[in-house]
Structure 1
Amino acid sequence: MDQSFENDPTGGLIGGDAAEDYELLMNTMQVSVSKHILDEHFTAVWSNAYYYGLIRYPKEEYEALFDNRPDRYYPYHHYEEELEKIQEVVMDTIRSGRTKYSLLTRMPVKGGGHVWVQLHGVITKNKYKGYPIAYSVLVDVDDTVKMQQAQSITYNNIPGFVAKFLIRDYLHIRLLDANKQFVEFFGTEGREPDPQFFRVNVESNRDQIIPQMDQVKRGEHVRFLARLQNNQGKRILMQANGDCVDWIDGAPVYLLTYIDVTDLTELREMHAKLEEQKQHLQDALSGAQKANAAKRDFLSRMSHEIRTPLNAIIGMTSIAAAHLFDRKRIEDCLGKISFSSRHLLSLINDILDMAKIEDGKLTVNRAPFYLKQVLDSVTTIIYPQAAAQGVDFKVSVQDMAEEEFMGDSMRISQILINLLSNAVKFTPEGGRVNLDVRRPAYGTGEIRLRFTVRDTGRGMSREFVENRLFQAFEQENGAGGTGLGMPITKNLVELLNGIISVRSKPGEGSTFVVELPFERSSQQKPQCYPSMGTLRVLVIDDDPDDCAYAALLLEKFGVKAKWVLSGREAVEMIRSAYEEGESSDICLIDWQMPEMDGIETTRRIRDIVGEAPPIIILTAYDYSEIEANARNAGANFFLSKPLFASSLYNTLLTATKMGGALPGPRHLGKTERLAGTHILVAEDNDLNLEIAVELLELAGARVSSVGNGQEALDWFAGPEGRDCDAILMDIQMPVMDGYQAARAIRASGCPNAGEIPIVAMTANAFREDVESAMEAGMNAHVAKPIDIDALYRTLEGMMERAGK
């Protein structure tokens, strides 16, 4: 080996006095510094004086015995495994392309034994005979490691738990260290338990920890009985004692020792009794709180839910009365009144039925009824809702031998309306809702009907279906409404001795199946239909199930019908038959078909065959909206779906033989006091806003409108606000509610902010709501639904007091 390389720790990179100074520096440092060739021996070519003091060998003796070769030094002291660990770390560093490595290791010393050192190494770019050159620094950490080992032995031999915590406050308690008993009990990995599980144990001892938090913040001794549970469910009682042993960033570090007192029978039994009593009290308190919260929520919801459709009904009635000669306006008002009335009726029925169910007073009315009438009434309510939402709604009846049954038709209607209303509500535009009615084939004499409601809506989670769907006031994801429909439906089904089941999956829709038992009506006569065997009927419908069922009913009349699935196919069939001198005696044509609807199909058939044969249009709902166009196209009769034998037979029989002012409220007009006034209406509901604006304009007022409280404030602070004579303010609005808006207007600093009349116009109509409006700076309160006379009187009184 080159002598200069061996004796110069810089490898000749520094010469002269500088090299001597460098060596002096290395020898005076209180750490071991060595220079190695990373050959197969890890040969040491130079070490400072501290290194030889650390291993307790004089330099000359070390070199004579081991020739500066660690692969001889470590085996001589029986520490081969430590050398292998070092070599593996160094080789892994080289393989990964890194230049630095570090590890905690044992360094053998003369006379036997070892010292713990922290080894830091760096691989240089210099090489000797092709081998890399590395520098190693050994830091003596023997005292620290042995102290930690002693502490660990002490911790692990204490008959209980030892844990160290950093405590900033009750919500921020972090485990820093713990003995093996603590770790094994809680099943933690390393020093960090699962945060959620750790927090559960903190919360279970809340009543013990919180009262002592002031002592903890002062670093004083603490003592309490801890209730602990591991993730296998094992529970123990531990007497905990803690003292502050350090501070980190102003927060105390506590060392806690836990002694198991679970086996102290008397203490455990007393604790169990106290826990039981405490749990009973907590359950009672929780139940009372939930009951009060549910009552408040229900009353608030009911007030708003009921008054909103009432406001629409009363307001639209007044508007219709003011436009008696405007047919389109009256039709629009009547449509909105009809929809709001049905909605209000369903709400009232829900409330009354729920009260009767809870009191056990709900009864069943057994009377004869026709299934067709029930389905027609249900369709009358559901079809407009579905059409308004862009949902395809269909009712089909299969395998129905009887038409009249004995039972409670009102309860049946209510069950179907609840299920179908929910299905429509939760089905997006373009989706489908189907009601299928049939007799299941059980092979018994009992009459049962199965009603199946399917939708392609958003569906429900399994947890909600199994645990909450039929609970009162329960809704999933803020569904809206009363939350009473499903529990009432279930109770009605059970009251009628039926069963209800549901299948649902989020994003894939829901299916409700209701089976109900019935008796044959004693008034029903055996069905006997004289044969129409010579009649030729063509059924035209895009639904093959409907075609097949119509053909099945016609077979009862002795008619072998033909059917096709499109208007185009029907036109071609009739043209071909007509050219051959044959044609159908009657055509049954569905109105709603793709590509070519029933009216267009009728028109093209008439172009071919003239006035014969009779054409019957099949519709799923009221045909009044298409009657004129259908008759102009050549239709003769109309028949609603689903088809029943009696109605179909009677219509066919008829077809074969074929050859005032509305009362309203008083006239609304200008009032002397409101004519010419400028009024701002703040209302987020479009229908309620339309009513308020129309009624005020009928009184001669000029009306401005905004959709929430923030917009009302901004409008009032603008130039139009100086010209405003009064503000009608809804309470429940987004962004800023009516109370906040009123306070903000009063505090706005505008010239008329103090005297502008502000009237609360809201469905919140309890005494507390009136008081809240006054406290917010409003002048009066008008409840929805709006009493037009009361509104006018309130505004007129304010104008009079203001001298306007």
Structure 2
Amino acid sequence: MEILNETLKRTGYEYDTLMNLLHVSVSKHILDEYYTLVWCNDYYYELIGYSREEYEALYHNKPAHYYMNDDLNIHDEKLWMQLSAKVMETLESGEKSYNLVTRMRRKHNGNHHDYMWVRLNAYLTDEYVDGYQVSYSVMTDITDVMDMKLEQSVTYDSLPGFVSKFRVNRNLDFKLLEANDRFFDFFGKDSMDGMDNALFRENIIRNMPVFLEHKNAVTNGNSVHFTVQMKNRSGNDAWLQINASCIGYQEGDPVYLAIYIDITNETELRQMQQKLEAQAKELRSALETAEEANRAKSDFLSRMSHDIRTPLNAVLGMKDIAEAHLDDPAKVKDCLRKIGLSGQHLLSLINDVLDMSKIESGEMLLREDSMSLPEVLENVVAIMQPQFGEKEQHFSIRLRSVVHEQFLSDALRMRQIFINILSNAYKFTPVNGTVSMDVCEKQAVDGTALFSFSITDTGIGMKPEYLAQIFTAFSRERDSRVDKTEGTGLGMAITKRFVDMMGGTIEVTSELGKGTCFRVELPLKIEENQFIKGEFPGLRIIVTDDDAVMCEYMAEMLGQLGIHADWVDSGIQTVEMIKTAKQNGEMYDAVLLDWKMPDLDGFETTRRIRELCGGQLPVLIISAYDWSDVEKDAKKAGVTGFLQKPIFVSTLIHGLQRYVLEGQPARKTQGTDTGARFTGRRFLLIEDNAINQEVARELLADMGAEVDTASDGAEGVETFRRSPDGFYDVILMDVQMPVMNGYEATRAIRTMDRDGAKAVPILAMTADAFSEDIQAAKDAGMNGHMAKPLDKAILWREIGKYLNSDFSPETAGKSGVNH
């Protein structure tokens, strides 16, 4: 037995020695999920570069961990899957053996890993361990053979492009190892062997973003394909298609064999085709946009037609009426007033279009001028009241807690907000419906007053789904009840934008069949220059209005002025109160009467008052209606004067001073009495349009000014040059003129070597009303800017700023442009 054991031992030793000499690895495996190693000869460890102890410690005799090990950052999944699939295929087929040519990792220098090619031959035995079959495997290193095969599988010079072999590390540093002549024909040759090729490195860096996209594939030795643009040694760009396959490893880095094929012509043709397709797509898109814009334009013009024709018809109609009544000055005056209102309305429509254009382009800026809230609301009433009257709608404005009246804001935009909302209320409220506007000063903090404006109607209301888009441009509700109502669909969109720009908020609530309410809140910067409150001690006044809220408001205002006020809600009670006061010897000093009341209207009440106590007692009619419509009947009834609703404190003071105390309106700088304001003043008017020149000259002459004119900038500069210093108080300068425009003329005047040229105020007088025009006027050296069309109030206000005693060359330069 001992002899037999010794013989077997010696035979095993000889077998191992033979296998080592033949460089063949023999191993026994359990074909479980780990391909568990049972035993192997010494060459197995020599082949993979690990000692037996090191292998067992790292991988626990489980080759699966040799291929994939997160702790050691080893991820050879593809190689493991290749081996596993082959084993599984053999087991399922019932075959007894399999062979495989594959790569295996080999430890190198203790830090890096190389890969080798091996031929694996395995034989499956009938032995089982824990239900798993056992196999014997023989591995042979065939790396040299495979490298030679791969390199010789391609004849470099027979390829359609050129070839190189390079090594790539994990930082994507490319090291050129070998290349054919065509490669150097393209990149040039910097050294004897050409391996240190600067142009090749520059092109790699240039295309690094492309290589970074495939970094994992490149560094893991996978086959890769690139299309890159590289510069050749002549400096020309070429499109190259690169196909590269890993043929081995050096110090753990994959070595690639790459084939470069010039596809410049095909690429440029494809790019041109793509460019043409992109241009065609852009043209189609542009055509669709143009067609959509054309449809929107047609729809917009159709919607605009009614709103434009209405004021135009009014202008032409009133002109005909005025011509037919030239012998009736009052009638002509009324026609002219209505022509003016219609013209303003037409201008507002045009402004809507321009405003929306400016808003959409982000170029709309608000002005900050001195603004009278009473004047804004008076203008709103003057424009809207005739429309409400046409449909016999009841319109009223109520004021609550209004303390401040003068602000620094954009009066035109504020008026637009209210007119747009009231116009909607008028359109969608039936005959005999009610539209009301409540104005409340909620608070005043740090020079800013917060105002709330609520406009409520008893109209048809809106559907909930339309409320969500009411502030969208061109939106109109599709409803048979309103299909006959035309409009641009811009009003509410512009209103919302203006409210936002003024730092305010707007919200709307509506109930179908019951009506709508818009609520606008605006912060208004208080102007220091408020009206002067008069003192009226000892006065006794009786107020009559069928609206109790209005009576209480009026009585409160009168009380603040030191006036004793009684109020009643009917004309009959008024007459009785006056009769009683007369009998007691405590006669009233004035009567404030609403016109429209249910029992006795204001005129009939006035007649009875006159019958009772004669014509000495001042009777003032309070109404939102147009005074010219009722003036004849009012005077016939004995009415003393008229106060336009809404009644502000300043309105009340003005009326009491004029009609009760026989005084003058107590406005410090605000008002509409522009007569003879400029007496003794001389202006230079530079305007090329004859009609505009005549209008401005006549308006200024009506206010007492002496006016010299010039028809272009050059003539204006010469006229000023010939005048002595201080001869002209103000220069009014048009901008768009022939020969020399207004900006050039202003600069020419400012550069004259005389004191008067620097000091004289120059005001732009132009139809260019946008913010960039205002800035251009300031840059040219102008002091102010007045947007056409002009009227007396604008001229009076703007020119007046520069005619006070404080104006000097210094203030002229600091005054800036008013906008």
- TM-score tier by shorter-chain length is 0.3 to 0.5
Higher relative contact order (CA 8 A, sep 6+): 1
TM-score computed with the length of structure 1 as normaliser: 0.44
